[in-house]
Amino acid sequence: AHVPERIAPGKAIEELTGFPRVVGGVGPKSTGKAVELYSIVNSKLMPADATTAEFVKLIENTFRDLNIAYANFLALLAERLGIDVYEAIKLANTHPRVNIHMPGAGVGGPCLTKDPYLLIEKHRDVYGAELIQLSRRINEYMPSHVVSMVLRSLSVNGIDPSKAKVAVLGVTYKGDVDDVRESPSKHIVGKLLEKVSEVVVYDPYSSEAFGGKRASTLEEAVSKADVVVIATDHKEFKGIDLPKLKELVNNPIIVDGRRVVDPYKAFSHGFKYYGVGFGKVVKL
């Protein structure tokens, strides 16, 4: 029998025992036995066959990946149109039948990065399968887009990339967890190492640095930095002290991949702010 995973890092016990679970066996008897066993820890069980159970797992994660890809496409479009995609999405989501995800620096983790491919692996000839592939390509592109934003921010501010120090905040694939599997930060750090003089990485949950220099504190990471890149939405980063940050950096430039910093607060403290989906030109 098969009970597909439906848990998020950091909430395993809560979701294992409290979320509805799909139980699929090879036949009615095995399904029944599995339901009987699993009901010891979770009473919210829905019986199915094993193929349907796995299909449900894949389509749940593919739905999320598709939605995030749509949000990331809107972010890229908003940058061209000169609008703030976060503002636009929040307004769109006031519609009772609309629920658009928020964009970001990319998609990571062990599930969303592979399950869409598994869904269509043996049936790529099904009409529309390219929709899944396109969504994956959009989400896989976003770390490169963040790197492009960094290089553009250096260029417009007259900073030579070969002499620049970039601080990358966050290596885990999502906020407040220690999981770095398929993290967008791996690609961001790797590409930056090819383009700039120094990449220093800090994450309060992980010692991974993906080839960059690891800092033990946020202050150490941003000291004398020419650009501060926010790649993960950890709570620690959401509470960042902007006046203190400005004193530590060499150039007050923020590239925000997760909308952790309020753009207008950054501007008010003298920072130049570049964010995924933030296409507005602000005159102070």
Catalytic residues: 57, 111
CA separation for the pair 151, 131 (Å, rounded): 30
Do residues 21 and 41 lie in contact, with contact meaning Cβ atoms separated by under 8 Å? no
**R_g over Cα of the chain:** 21
Nearest to 27 by CA among 59, 57, 52: 52
Q: In what order do the strands lie in the sheet with 227-230?
A: 213-214, 198-202, 165-169, 227-230, 253-256, 272-275
Neighbouring C-alpha atoms within 13 Å toward the C-beta of 52: 12
Residues 6 or more apart whose Cβ sits within 8 Å of residue 231:
105, 146, 168, 169, 170, 171, 184, 185, 188, 257, 258
**Quick one: which H or E segment has residue 235?**
helix 235-238
Partners of 47 in the β-ladder: 23
Do residues 280 and 82 lie in contact, with contact meaning Cβ atoms separated by under 8 Å? yes
Do residues 102 and 89 lie in contact, with contact meaning Cβ atoms separated by under 8 Å? yes
